Amino acid sequence: MDALQELLEDLKRHGLHQGQALGLFNVLIGRRISRADGAVVSNGLTWRELAAWLKKVRWDRDTVRELGLNPDELAPRDRQQFWYSAIARAAVDSDKAAQAGDRAAERLRKLGYVVGPAPGKAKK
């Protein structure tokens, strides 16, 4: 199993993804994620790569409601386009997203992952 797929499945299995869509998108796109042993999980994904992963792991479409989006207004037949549209509308580079990303990073730490700082932030 790919390390990134394992991370996404861990989040779902432990329910740590709920209420964290914006933060998770921010972390998965803009931050380095590794395991506690130093194995790299991700150096950051493009929007398209993240959309493909969310499709692959069958991420719940209703998650977009957390972003203020109606899933019925996004591409219903093409799941990758659905997620790409949601990511594009989520403002993943905003200050709000960076703060949500910090909260999501804390949840990932509970699962044994090490998450780097948001782009432009000094490591604490």
Own/partner pairs for 57-62, CB < 8 Å, 24+ apart?
A: 57/5, 57/8, 57/9, 57/12, 59/8, 59/12, 59/83
- Contact (CB, 8 A) for 24 and 112: no
Q: Which pLDDT does position 123 carry in this prediction?
A: 53
Q: Which pLDDT does position 121 carry in this prediction?
A: 67
Q: Which pLDDT does position 19 carry in this prediction?
A: 86
Q: Which residues of the chain carry a pLDDT beneath 50?
A: 124
User: Which residue has tokens 């590794």?
Assistant: 34
Query: Which candidate, 20, 28, 30, places its Cα nearest to that of 3?
Result: 28
Q: Which pLDDT does position 89 carry in this prediction?
A: 95
